[in-house]
Amino acid sequence: MVPIVSIVGKSGSGKTTLLEKVVAELTKRGYKVGTIKHDVHGFEIDCEGKDSWRHKRAGATTVVLSGPGKIAVIKDVDKEWPPEMLCFSFINGADIIITEGYKKAGYPKIEVVRKTKSLKPICRKDKNLIGIASDIKFKSKDVPRFDINDSKGIANLIENRFLRKKTANKIDLMVNKEQITLKPFINELLAEAIKAMLSSLKGCKNPKQIELKIRN
C-alpha cells in the first residue's frame, strides 16, 4: 500500500497545524499527499436541508457530490473502514497518506506533545513511534525529537523513511476489505501479466497506474 504516517497527540496539542505545514512542505517538494482525519466521535457533512441530506434521508446508501473541481462521497458502512481501505477506495495517485489521529493503530506515527496539554508522550512505548514534535526540550533516546514548528525537519524524516524507496510495479491488493501482502516475486509477476494483457487494448499503452476491481 501507499505508506501511511499518523500524526497523533492529545486534543488541542496542534496536530492539525503540524499536519497542514508538513503537507504543504511535502507538496512543495513535488509529492502528492493524501490526508485522512480520524474522528472517534463521528461527524456530519450532509447538513440538514442540503440536497445531499435530502438524498440520504430518502434512503440512498451512497451519495456523491460532483463539481468542476472536486467530489465528495457520503456512504453508509457497517463498520469503520481502516485507512488502507479508505486509500484503496478513494485516494488515487498519492505518494503518501498522512492521517490525523489513529494513535492506537499500528502505523508509523509522529506524536505532538505540547506542554499546556501534556508533559510526556502518550505513545512513548509504542514501537511504531518514529518521531516527536514538541515545545518541551526533553531528551528522547529512541526516536528523534523536533521543535513543534519544525515542519521541514519532520518532512525530511518522512521523505527519507518512506518516499525515497519506491519500487516499480507495486501492487496494492485488497480482498474483502483486507490488505493482502504480496511477496516481491508475486508482485512483479502479477504486474507484468496484467500490463501484458492490457497492452493490446485501445488507450492502454504505457499506463502509469492501473486499477482493477473484481466483485463476485
Query: For 154-202, how does the pLDDT look when each residue is reduced to its tens digit (9 = 90+)?
Result: 999 999 999 976 545 677 788 887 888 777 778 888 888 888 888 888 8
Average pLDDT, the chain: 87
Q: Are residues 190 and 157 in the same domain?
A: no
Task: Tell which residue, 182, 148, 144, 189, has the closest CA to residue 9.
Answer: 148
In a domain, 57, yes or no: no
User: CB-based burial of residue 137 (10 Å sphere; 0-12 exposed, 13-18 middle, 19+ buried)?
Assistant: exposed
**Number of domains composing the chain:** 2
Model pTM above 0.85: no
Distance linking the first and last C-alpha atoms of the chain = 23
Question: Higher pLDDT residue, 83 or 40?
Answer: 83
pLDDT confidence tier of residue 213, bands split at 50, 70 and 90: confident
Separation CA 1–CA 91 (nearest Å): 11
Q: Are residues 97 and 125 in the same domain?
A: yes
Q: Which contiguous run of DSSP H or E holds residue 175?
A: strand 173-175
19-33, 66-80, 101-115: the lowest-pLDDT one: 66-80
In a domain, 150, yes or no: yes
**Statement: residue 132 has pLDDT above 90:** yes
Structural domain containing residue 212: 169-216
In a domain, 63, yes or no: no
Q: Where are the alpha helices (DSSP H) in the chain?
A: 15-28, 51-58, 83-90, 151-158, 184-198
In a domain, 133, yes or no: yes
Strands 178-180 and 173-175, bridge-based pairing: antiparallel
Buried b (16+ CB within 10 A) or exposed e, 95-125: bbbbbbbbbeeebbbbbbbbeeebeebbbee
Q: Are residues 27 and 88 in the same domain?
A: yes
Q: Are residues 104 and 29 in the same domain?
A: yes
In this structure, the number of other CB atoms found within 10 A of the CB of residue 165 comes to 8
The predicted model gives 132-138 an average pLDDT of 91
Amino acid symbol at 149:
N
Residues recorded for the chain? 216
Separation CA 124–CA 111 (nearest Å): 9
Separation CA 89–CA 172 (nearest Å): 11
User: CB-based burial of residue 18 (10 Å sphere; 0-12 exposed, 13-18 middle, 19+ buried)?
Assistant: buried
pLDDT confidence tier of residue 117, bands split at 50, 70 and 90: very high
